[in-house]
């Protein structure tokens, strides 16, 4: 019963999700046309996630 519900959901989700264009990179929420802009956005995204714990620890250590 659960398997049938999952199967129905996935097939309906696939039918609804067909509004994207064809080809590589067309179904992504960001553009992959400009590689330098993509590099900057990816670096900012990954860099913010990497530096956040260090900044939080520094903030906690500097508190009185």
pLDDT, one tens digit per residue, over 14-31 is: 566 556 677 777 888 888
Distance, in Å, from the CA atom of 44 to the CA atom of 36, rounded to the nearest integer, reads 12
Distance CA 2, CA 45 (A): 37
Residue 9 has pLDDT above 80, yes or no: no
Measure Cα distances from 45 to 8, 18, 25, 42 in Å. 35, 28, 18, 5
- Return the exposure string of 14-35: e unless at least 16 CB atoms fall within 10 Å of the residue's CB, then b: eeeeeeeeeeeeeeeeeeeeee
Global pTM exceeds 0.75:
no
pLDDT band at 49 (very low <50, low <70, confident <90, very high): very high
Q: What is the mean pLDDT of residues 34-54?
A: 95
């Amino acid at each position: 019963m659960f398997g049938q519900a999952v199967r129905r959901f996935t097939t309906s989700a696939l039918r609804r999700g067909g509004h994207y264009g064809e080809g590589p990179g067309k179904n992504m929420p960001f553009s992959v046309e400009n590689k330098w802009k993509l590099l900057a956005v990816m670096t900012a995204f990954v860099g913010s996630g990497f530096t956040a714990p260090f900044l939080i620890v520094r903030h906690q250590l500097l508190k009185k």
